[in-house]
Amino acid sequence: MNIRESTESWEAEALSPHASLSSNSRGREREEEPCDIRPVYQRDRDRIIHCKTFRRLKHKTQVFLAPEGDHYRTRLTHTLEVSQIARTIARALRMNEDLTEAIALGHDLGHTPFGHSGEAVLNKICSEGFAHYRQSVRVVEVLEKDGRGLNLTWEVRDGILNHRTSGSPSTLEGKIVRLSDKIAYINHDIDDAIRARMFVEEDLPECYTEVLGHSVRERLNNLIHDIIRNSYEKPEIIMSPHMEEAMQGLRTWMFENVYRSDVPKAEEGKAQHLIVMLFNYYMEHTDKLPAEYHYLMDVRHENRERVVCDYIAGMSDSYAIDKFEELFVPKAWKDI
């Protein structure tokens, strides 16, 4: 028995009967020789961490566009925070922590530069539409490794696709990530908004903070404990009704007072105009796209519009700005 098989045997004995066992995975689109050390979900986790798209998340917007402060969240730090919350819940419930972590680390790979404002404008100008959760799956199935994708297991791809609010993951590990994503962004975006002096903790509606807690730490602790208490030894991942109602209420308040407010949105119009300009340019000059995108069009026969979206969606905030300046901002002439 090798190390992987020993780990799979341990999972069968130690994990909850409701957990997703590595040995029971529905597998990959392309069969591979199993690793002698790592079960399939651990292998998926490692592939995501080492891919280029994951690294670019460090320069992509969470809420505040291209923030200059060192302590504002980026899409990468958000992803790591979701992973931490999800792993804590998964371990307490004896779920498959490797599967949970792989889904959490991959759930936002398809996000555009400039956050949801970038996603919204790409969805508007692309005739096929654009949604980051579908793009995240496209990243791992197609775009990474020069068109070969990461060849992840079905369960990880299902969890990534269904992490959105209206999604319905097929595994309990996917359901943990779906809730952890909301817990993370609501509470950490509050922290960032307070740092940006948009409001103070005491401005949050008391009807929600009385239930959830009066600090980020308290709210995270209470929400995580609530999920664990209500889901323990059950074939579902649930919250108590009063906690879920308070979290949804606070989420609505955040949309009204943070996500749609003038402070984080101050540069949104400029960012969206930038994306439209880049989109139109590359639609007319596909020869300027990097080689791997020509492979998508010439060998895989992918739609040109979709490939241009792929390229722009993969850009970091700073790279998109640099490309815009390179293509549209005149350079001063210098005598040599």
What is the per-residue pLDDT across 255-277, written as a single tens digit (0 to 9) for each? 888 877 766 666 788 899 999 99
pLDDT value at residue 63: 75
Q: How confident is the model at residue 155 (pLDDT cuts 50, 70, 90)?
A: very high
Question: In terms of Cα–Cα distance, which of 140, 130, 143, 231 is closest to 179?
Answer: 231
pLDDT value at residue 330: 87
Amino acid, single-letter form, for residue 208: Y
Instruction: Count the Cβ atoms, other than its own, within 10 Å of residue 33.
Output: 5
Length of the chain: 336
Residue 200 vs residues 90, 135, 192: alpha-carbon distances, Å: 32, 35, 11
| C-alpha torsion angle, residues 202, 203, 207, 212 (rounded to 10) | -60
170 has a pLDDT exceeding 90: yes
Q: Percentage of the chain with pLDDT > 70?
A: 95
The reported pTM is 0.95
| Cα–Cα distance for residue pair 241/219, rounded to 1 Å | 16
Backbone torsions φ then ψ of 74, nearest 5 degrees: -115, 175
Contact status, residue 319 vs residue 275, Cβ threshold 8 Å: no
Terminal-residue alpha carbon distance, the chain: 69
| Cα–Cα distance for residue pair 132/259, rounded to 1 Å | 17
pLDDT value at residue 42: 98
* Token couple for 93: 């419930």
327 has a pLDDT exceeding 80: yes
Strand partners, 61: 74
pLDDT value at residue 44: 98
pLDDT value at residue 150: 98
pLDDT value at residue 53: 97
Q: Is 166 exposed, middle or buried (0-12, 13-18, 19+ CB in 10 A)?
A: exposed
Which single residue is written with the structure tokens 């979900």?
Answer: 41
Q: How confident is the model at residue 254 (pLDDT cuts 50, 70, 90)?
A: very high
> What's the chain's average pLDDT?
93
